Amino acid sequence: MRLNQTSHEIFECIKLLRCKVREVRNGDFERLLAMNDLAITLQNQGNFKEATKIYTEVLEKAKQMYGGEHLNTLSAMTKLAIALNYQGEREVATRLFTEVVEKKKILGDEHPDTLTSMSNLANILSQQQEFAGAVAIGKGVLEKRKRILGEEHLDTISGMGNFAIALKLQGKFEEASIMFTKVFEKREQVLGDEHLDTISAMSNLANTLLAQNNLEAAVAMGKEVLRKLTRILGSVHLDSISALYNLAIALEYQGKHEEAAVMFTKVFEKREQLLGDEHPDTILAKRFLSHALTRQGKLQEGATIAARQDVTGKQ
């Protein structure tokens, strides 16, 4: 699926993929490919529940066709783990990522596939605030990629970015900022300033600048990230919504509560629609919206949002 497709084109694409899945003989490799393509397309549109269901079926069929140790099976397991992580099912995703890493070690500790799987595991450990493990794995991956691939290779740059994320989550903002700046500059040079990986690096840098209380630079960079992602992916893509959320936080820290509240409302509504009201990211948006409204003196509105949090039981 290409970027900038219209809603009608995406609908037609999904419809064609569903037809292909139905038409291809069960147990056929072509059916697995069609199911995989359908799951990826659904995931890109934020339909994680159906994507996860299909990825689960793909994994089970891959195990039957190839066995549990085959690379095709491990690839299916990785995609399922990524989809589960997006839904906030991080414990299950961590177990799957760990299993993939252990099984891929048969390729060797320095094989590119093994290092990629280790990087995925480090990322989710960071999200679960298991910083010691995340930093140790991330540092090991980065050092091996530098030695094997060189500092300018895209996989090495990716490893540097992942390691910087772990450092940022540990509160090592200055070290993380230096590393994010390098990642952004290298990606901009190699990939161009409109590439999604370059924009992702810019977003990480903006968030780190915010953590360092460099509000003006963080807001300026956050606006640029949001503008580019909205143009490339559309306003309802999860990455665009995350960029809107990050910018709203920066504006809130600047004391621009009204502007921030408008953005938090949009983030909350879109995440609720795409992810559901019990997803951790939706709940986080509710909390920030409630706080922003309260700071404007809109106590009743803020209390109403807070009460909606209470209903989910996810305070």
Q: Are 79 and 51 a contacting pair, CB within 8 Å? A: no
- Burial status of residue 171 (CB atoms within 10 A of its CB: 0-12, 13-18, 19 or more): exposed
Question: Per-residue pLDDT for 6 more than 60?
Answer: no
Fold classification of 230-315 is 1.25.40
* pTM of model > 0.85: no
Domain residue spans in the chain?
230-315
Question: Per-residue pLDDT for 306 more than 60?
Answer: yes
| Alpha-carbon distances of 119 from 140, 166, 172, 194, 215, rounded to whole Å | 9, 11, 19, 24, 30
HEC string of 254-291 equals CCCHHHHHHHHHHHHHHHHHHHCCCCHHHHHHHHHHHH
Task: Say which range, 38-47, 194-203, 261-270, 287-296, has the weakest mean pLDDT.
Answer: 38-47
What is the pLDDT confidence band of residue 37, given thresholds at 50, 70 and 90? confident
